[in-house]
Structure 1
Amino acid sequence: MKAAYLHIPFCEHICYYCDFNKVFLKGQPVDDYITALDREMKLTLEEAPAAELETIFVGGGTPTSLNERQLERFCDSINTNLPKAANLEFTFEANPGDLSKEKLQILRNAGVNRISLGVQTFNDELLTKIGRVHKAKDVYQTIDKIKSLGFENISIDLIYSLPTQTLGDFKASLSEAFSLELPHYSAYSLIIEPKTVFYNLLKKGKLPTPGEDLEARMYEVVMEEMEKHGLNQYEISNFAKPGYESRHNLTYWENEYYFGFGAGAHSYVNGYRRSNIGPLKKYIDSLNNGELPILDNHQVTLTEQMEEEMFLGLRKTSGVQISKFAQKYGRGPFEIFEKELNELLLKKWIEVSGDNIFLTKQGRLLGNEVFQMFLGVFD
């Protein structure tokens, strides 16, 4: 076990595209939730003891929506319960504008060494349209604060293919992002998920999205500009200077085990993919009763493991290592997925070089179609 994810579901506002497990902060049992998280960590580690964790990632929701006392208590709970390696990567997600120096100092004192900031765009009008409450100026002020407290490993998220967004506007946002000179950037295309404000608007025909062709061009621009600025594309949507790749997210893409703590969190532990109860009261009640808040516990079959190894591994630009796959499963990927891989080679969506199978540039543009080919192969 290398990694742990902890979920803080509280938000001071709800973004129109977000489908994560989250609730408005006001009036919520935040202290009870932190207590329940503490219990979940204890019970889980009793059930599945782990060696030192190499990565801890706190996401949400908005983890930094906790007040200073709650944040300090939560960080103490993490440090008390989770065994940590000396070279730990410890990430906290945050939003521009809601990070005080006091909160940052609490994170710094707790050993947090990586901050991931949800920026999305530098266009103030677009920020309002997608339900964000920060402005572009807040990004610069927040980054200055983060750097002033000694944090060097900083990442920002950008979203493209937003409603009414033009290519020129997106290029301007990229330019603003590069002016920050950060070691890591993530850039995702907008995905409209059910149970979101955007989904309801789309169904009513009231969401003017740029369309597939412009979305593909925006992704090409992302890849071109990141390369120009010395940022290596190590995964479909992630770019970093050498040594600043997200080790936590690589755990997922390399199909390795990880803990997931919190309401609605997911785990992959000892061959089982587990999801937690989502509603806060039910999650807290379960732990108050001394029970783990498990909603579903699925034993991953050998065929499912192999399928996941392919579609997760191909997200990385280094791709799937043939010898590692064979060592794990007793047979190489071409023995198991001969038809699928040969079809992808013929379409020039993948390439084989040495010991690696990886997506071509065209394959990256059509990533979801590639990954779909490895789902349900053995059904």
Structure 2
Amino acid sequence: MTALYLHIPFCRSKCHYCSFSSCAGGEALYGPYVDALIMELTRLAEQHGATATEGLDTLFLGGGTPTCLPVELLQRVIRSSLDLFGAVPGAEISVEANPGTVERRYFETLLAAGVNRLSLGVQSFEDPELALIGRIHNRQEACSAIEAARVAGCTNISLDLMFGLPGQTPASWRNSLAKALSFNPQHLSLYQLTIEPDTRFDVFMQNHTISLPAEDDIVAMDDITAELCSAAGLRLYETSNYAAEGYQCRHNVNYWLNDDYLAAGAAAVSCRRGVRERRIADPGEYIRRINRQESVVVETEHLAREESFRETVIMGLRMVQGVSRSTLYARYGMEISEYYGVILKKLLDPGFVELTATHLRITAKGWPIANQIMAKLV
């Protein structure tokens, strides 16, 4: 698989929970940033000539908020990527979009440029929750954005929702999730809020101005998720992701398989042939370095064989299907049961994981403590 990720680091405003590399405002940089991004893409295509010949299996534009950009700029980025790298038949081309930044004509232009998957960051359909987490849209604007995407002709829509928000209850989560499912999305990404350092929520927690739902409420929300998604025909395929049959996010599956991927843009991280590269996060400095024909890579990590093996196991265990034993052996020449030995046995005996002839996977009993299981295998 040839996967390409492009980072658009701009937002209208910074959400209170957000720790991603993004900056509010920066409109004056939009045009220069797109110019610089296309220059980096051109260099990447020249460096990876074979990749460009094969064509992209997936292209993903994330952020930030890609749809902050005027649609003509975003269209330029998409078309340049496809011109430089090509795309295999049926390639998955995704764009993240936020309600409040899009309307039908915007979506129509994206689809005409080749986009065939939209990921809408709704987060909640409850107005008090949206206000509390700092989103720029309300419930009605979220509904209008989803409807506009459908009218524009998009047949592969993913919705992001968050649970475990301050003040959220199992009842309000049921309302949000039921409303999301009423639009018949092909995919749902459902994330439990984590308080990250250096976010506004981190400050609020330290000042005791917000509190999170109790653990019993989180368990109840998990139960509601399983109930409603199952009834809607969406199946859990990764820790936080549900999809209709055939609509799993191929780009993200590539990450969870720990396969190679290319990347471009400020703060973007690529991983190819055991070398991980991180680009400078500041968009202004990114533009300056590209224009001076300097490297924008600020950190390079060469993954050792065993380190990469363990990372592939952990990433693969995020998926319901688990990690393939034969793929691991073909890639590393290492057998999972021999490598982990007693550590693995302590997880197998109580039934938290199972080792089949083909895969190691977390069981239904183990999913509630999945993070602890993965920590033992790191």
* Fold shared per TM-score above 0.5: yes
Q: 1:17 aligns to what? A: 17
Are 1:96 and 2:99 an aligned pair? yes
Q: 1:276 aligns to what? A: 279
Q: Could you give the per-residue CA deviations for residues 173-200 of structure 1, whole angstroms, max 9, x where no partner exists? A: 1111111111111101001111110011
Are 1:202 and 2:205 an aligned pair? yes
User: Please, which moves more after superposition, 55-64 or 136-145?
Assistant: 136-145
Superposed displacement of residue 269, structure 1: 1.2
Superposed displacement of residue 340, structure 1: 2.3
User: Please, which moves more after superposition, 19-28 or 104-113?
Assistant: 19-28
Q: 2:75 aligns to what? A: 72
With normalisation by structure 2, the TM-score equals 0.96
Superposed displacement of residue 256, structure 1: 0.3
Superposed displacement of residue 102, structure 1: 2.2
Q: 1:46 aligns to what? A: 46
- Seen in structure 2, the aligned counterparts of structure 1 residues 364 and 133 have a Cα distance that, compared at 3 Å, is same
**Which residue type is aligned with residue 209 of structure 2?**
K
- For the residues of structure 2 that align with 1:46 and 1:213, how far apart are their CA atoms? 54
**Structure 2: gaps (5+ residues):** none
- For the residues of structure 1 that align with 2:350 and 2:195, how far apart are their CA atoms? 28
Q: Does the aligned pair in 1 maintain the 2:108–2:153 contact within 8 Å?
A: no
Q: 2:184 aligns to what? A: 181
- For the residues of structure 2 that align with 1:271 and 1:331, how far apart are their CA atoms? 16
Task: Map residues 24-35 of structure 1 onto 2, 5 A cutoff.
Answer: 24-35=24-35
Superposed displacement of residue 48, structure 1: 2.9
How many equivalent residue pairs? 375
Superposed displacement of residue 216, structure 1: 3.2
Q: Does the aligned pair in 2 maintain the 1:219–1:365 contact within 8 Å?
A: no
- For the residues of structure 2 that align with 1:235 and 1:222, how far apart are their CA atoms? 14
User: Please, which moves more after superposition, 196-205 or 71-80?
Assistant: 71-80
Q: Does the aligned pair in 2 maintain the 1:40–1:292 contact within 8 Å?
A: no
User: Which of 256, 259, 264 is the aligned partner of 1:261?
Assistant: 264
**Which residue type is aligned with residue 6 of structure 2?**
L
Q: Secondary structure at 1:96's aligned position in 2?
A: coil
- For the residues of structure 1 that align with 2:32 and 2:75, how far apart are their CA atoms? 15
Q: Secondary structure at 2:366's aligned position in 1?
A: helix
User: Which of 348, 354, 362 is the aligned partner of 1:345?
Assistant: 348
Task: Map residues 146-295 of structure 1 onto 2, 5 A cutoff.
Answer: 146-295=149-298
Superposed displacement of residue 47, structure 1: 2.3
Task: Map residues 281-320 of structure 1 onto 2, 5 A cutoff.
Answer: 281-320=284-323
Q: Does the aligned pair in 2 maintain the 1:160–1:189 contact within 8 Å?
A: yes
**Which residue type is aligned with residue 204 of structure 1?**
N
Superposed displacement of residue 72, structure 1: 2.7
User: Which of 36, 60, 64 is the aligned partner of 1:61?
Assistant: 64
**Which residue type is aligned with residue 75 of structure 2?**
E
Stretches of 4+ aligned residues off by more than 4 angstroms: none
- For the residues of structure 2 that align with 1:260 and 1:211, how far apart are their CA atoms? 39
Q: Does the aligned pair in 2 maintain the 1:44–1:292 contact within 8 Å?
A: no
**Which residue type is aligned with residue 308 of structure 2?**
Q
Q: 1:139 aligns to what? A: 142
- For the residues of structure 1 that align with 2:275 and 2:119, how far apart are their CA atoms? 28
- For the residues of structure 1 that align with 2:121 and 2:74, how far apart are their CA atoms? 19
Q: Does the aligned pair in 1 maintain the 2:105–2:152 contact within 8 Å?
A: no
Superposed displacement of residue 26, structure 1: 4.3
Q: Could you give the per-residue CA deviations for residues 283-324 of structure 1, whole angstroms, max 9, x where no partner exists? A: 111111212310111111101111111100000000011122
**Which residue type is aligned with residue 3 of structure 1?**
A
Q: Could you give the per-residue CA deviations for residues 112-155 of structure 1, whole angstroms, max 9, x where no partner exists? A: 00000001111111100000121111222111111112110000
Q: Does the aligned pair in 1 maintain the 2:104–2:151 contact within 8 Å?
A: no
User: Which of 335, 339, 342 is the aligned partner of 2:338?
Assistant: 335
- For the residues of structure 2 that align with 1:54 and 1:73, how far apart are their CA atoms? 19
**Which residue type is aligned with residue 199 of structure 1?**
D
Task: Map residues 361-372 of structure 1 onto 2, 5 A cutoff.
Answer: 361-372=364-375
With normalisation by structure 1, the TM-score equals 0.95
Q: Does the aligned pair in 2 maintain the 1:79–1:110 contact within 8 Å?
A: no
**Structure 1: gaps (5+ residues):** none
- Seen in structure 2, the aligned counterparts of structure 1 residues 348 and 220 have a Cα distance that, compared at 3 Å, is farther
User: Please, which moves more after superposition, 206-215 or 173-182?
Assistant: 206-215
Q: Secondary structure at 1:358's aligned position in 2?
A: strand
